[in-house]
Amino acid sequence: MQLLDGKVVSQAVKNELKEKTRLLTQAGKKAPHLAAILIGNDGASETYVASKIKNCEEIGFKSSLFRFDSNVEEAIVIAQIEALNNDDDVDGILVQLPLPKHISEEKIINIINPAKDVDGFHPSSVGKMVQGLPSFLPATPFGIMLMLQHYKIDTAGKHAVVIGRSNIVGRPMSILLSANTNPGNCTVTLCHSRTQNLKELCLQADIIVAALGKVSFLTADMVKQGAIVIDVGITRVADSSKKSGFAIKGDVDFEKLAPKTSFITPVPGGVGLMTIAGLLKNTYNACVQNNRY
């Protein structure tokens, strides 16, 4: 069993972006600028956005955070996005999800200028991804592809089972793994809450991506010997032994399952860090494209 180490791979991505950003600014060009919008005070969203901003700073990107109360009017958020769309200094716009119920996720995502859609959630970005055209890829599946690439994992012809069909992870993951690319070229089964024979499908899988958000859902009896397991889960579970009062748990029963695998991602220290790496790469690319560098 070998760990797929998100710390190592994300650091390699960040080192590369930091050097490229240094070269840009040295040549008198502007640094990439990410604008993040955070609505409400969900603890997990606060942590993710703070981490995204901190990582921008670490590698020399500019970042701006726009915070709104959970009861903010939708029109005010839309006006903020339009202002960022029109601001030539801003390269990437991110609206942290989930949104309060009275704000339409669809409307908000649609209003973001596709050239600044560093989350890759706009229908224009999704359409390009499906067709295999250059586009911003959603950060988590993008990060997982970067990780598979880093460890030179041969995915061609392998059976990949993706558990979870969210627009943020499962569905785009299934598209990227089935694309005619390297990594990619998998035969993909996309499983969800209505899948009837999940255990049998998982037992046939060479690669499993668990992205359903249920702690320790994937157990050792569900994977075959030598499988590659990618754990996307990041659920907060109360833990009084931690300073924060909670521990981060994945969708995989790591302790019992890891010895059966050939490669596995830890939680924390796996996919979560790669999500940030994917976002930073998208933001750098947006800067280069939008400014014609």
Q: Which residues are catalytic?
A: 52, 96, 119
Question: From the CB of 2, what's the least distance to ligand GUN, in Å?
Answer: 26
CA distances for 144 relative to 156, 174, 244, angstroms: 15, 12, 27
Token pair of 46 as six digits: 């606060």
Q: What is the strand order of the sheet 62-68 is part of?
A: 62-68, 33-39, 92-95
Question: From the CB of 251, what's the least distance to ligand GUN, in Å?
Answer: 14
Q: Which is nearer to ligand GUN, 5 or 46 (CB)?
A: 46
CB atoms within 10 A of CB 205: 25
Q: Which is nearer to ligand GUN, 94 or 162 (CB)?
A: 94
User: Burial of 293 by CB count in 10 Å (0-12 exposed, 13-18 middle, 19+ buried)?
Assistant: exposed
Q: Which is nearer to ligand GUN, 67 or 224 (CB)?
A: 67
Give the span between the Cα atoms of 262 and 264, in whole angstroms. Answer: 7
Closest CB to ligand GUN: residue number: 97
Q: Which is nearer to ligand GUN, 115 or 203 (CB)?
A: 115
Q: Which is nearer to ligand GUN, 257 or 276 (CB)?
A: 276
Spatial neighbors of 98 by CB under 8 A, at least 6 apart, are 42, 45, 105
Question: From the CB of 223, what's the least distance to ligand GUN, in Å?
Answer: 25
Give the span between the Cα atoms of 216 and 269, in whole angstroms. Answer: 16
User: Burial of 200 by CB count in 10 Å (0-12 exposed, 13-18 middle, 19+ buried)?
Assistant: exposed
Report the DSSP beta bridge partners of residue 67.
38
Residues at the site binding ligand GUN, with contacts judged by CB under 6 A: 94-97, 119, 139-140, 168, 275
